[in-house]
Amino acid sequence: MTASNQEVSLGMPQLPAPAYPADVLGRLEADAKEVIARYPGSRSALLPLLHLVQAEEGFVSRTGMAFCADRLGLTTAEVTAVATFYSMYRRRPSGDYQVGVCTNTLCAVMGGDAIFDRLKEHLGVGNDETTDDGKVTLEHIECNAACDFAPVVMVNWEFFDNQTPESATRLVDDLLAGRTVEPTRGAPLCTYKETSRILAGFPDTRPGAVEASGGAGAASLVGLKLAKGEAAPHARVVGQRGEAPSAQPQKGAEHLSSHDAPQQTSDSDPDNPAGPAAEEGK
Ligand code: FES
């Protein structure tokens, strides 16, 4: 154990972090070597290395932080500062599926707060808490740049668009029951550990995953067209509030998964239907 690996917390020396079992350490060392070799300066590899150790245990443990510090010639204080700054690193054991409900401004007013409250009640857990079976961790998340699909729920950072309390409840029930869950767009869903390994920069070898992960969603493309001053004949991506879903599939709607909500996402202002839908007939 080097001096850099000694855990120090506000003047209170702590016991050294427990060691990884030999087989785990061997595997991590080989993977870490590959990650570090990608960068001209080894300390630049800290973020992917934190994802790598998170892929091992499902969170960034003291052992994981000591491992990163050792490999990169950093102090554990430096590694801890980074690991605690970014919310994508967990600091304690949690569920296979992180269900993040966006409660930033736009999602909140479009129903994100109601979704979070419903899930809290349905799952019997609060923010950053995990169900007893260890499957689902519920979290408030910040804006994930998917405001055009508000309110958004993310499971292990995959998108579930235009959610409602009812559709989000079905989603978590499927996760708890082990049923297949398909994100609205992007790659197929995997566990948090598997997601962390992909974020460490290792290829996603699942069939079809790479092909599925590219491309913007339909609502974003409509916004791009409008921003360029081009006509967007199929601009109606979000339905009129209170209106039954159209019998005619809308262009771009074919990507919707079985976990998308019907496209009425808020009834807070029935006199003023929102966005492109309202503009379409003008
Ligand atoms: S406010 Fe929720 S994705 Fe932007």
With a 6 Å cutoff on the Cβ, whether 106 touches ligand 1 is yes
Amino acid 233: pLDDT: 57
Mean pLDDT by 10 residues, the chain (282 residues): 41 75 96 96 96 96 96 96 94 94 95 97 96 96 92 95 96 96 88 95 80 71 80 54 45 61 57 48 44
The atom number, within ligand 1, closest to the CA of 151 reads 2
- Choice from 101, 103, 106 to test ligand 1 binding pocket (greatest atom count within 8 A of CB): 106
With a 6 Å cutoff on the Cβ, whether 24 touches ligand 1 is no
**CA distances, 74 to each of 6, 12, 44, 101, 251 (Å):** 11, 20, 11, 34, 52
Closest CA to 172 of 114, 96, 241: 96
With a 6 Å cutoff on the Cβ, whether 147 touches ligand 1 is yes
- Residues 6 or more apart whose CB falls under 8 angstroms from that of 220 comprise 148
Amino acid 2: pLDDT: 36
Euclidean distance between the first and the last CA atom of the chain, given in angstroms as a whole number: 71
CA of 178 to the centre of ligand 1 (A): 28
With a 6 Å cutoff on the Cβ, whether 176 touches ligand 1 is no
CA of 222 to the centre of ligand 1 (A): 17
With a 6 Å cutoff on the Cβ, whether 75 touches ligand 1 is no
With a 6 Å cutoff on the Cβ, whether 144 touches ligand 1 is yes
**Which amino acid is located at 266 in the chain?**
S
The atom number, within ligand 1, closest to the CA of 105 reads 1
pTM: 0.76
CA of 163 to the centre of ligand 1 (A): 12
Amino acid 258: pLDDT: 73
With a 6 Å cutoff on the Cβ, whether 107 touches ligand 1 is yes
CB atoms within 10 A of CB 11: 5
Q: How far apart, in whole angstroms, are the C-alpha atoms of residue 72 and residue 49?
A: 9
Amino acid 13: pLDDT: 62
**Which amino acid is located at 105 in the chain?**
T
- Choice from 104, 109, 162, 220 to test ligand 1 binding pocket (greatest atom count within 8 A of CB): 104
CA of 134 to the centre of ligand 1 (A): 27
CB 185 within 8 A of CB 211: no
CB 239 within 8 A of CB 245: yes
Amino acid 187: pLDDT: 82
Amino acid 277: pLDDT: 43
With a 6 Å cutoff on the Cβ, whether 152 touches ligand 1 is yes
Q: How far apart, in whole angstroms, are the C-alpha atoms of residue 156 and residue 172?
A: 12
With a 6 Å cutoff on the Cβ, whether 102 touches ligand 1 is yes
With a 6 Å cutoff on the Cβ, whether 143 touches ligand 1 is yes
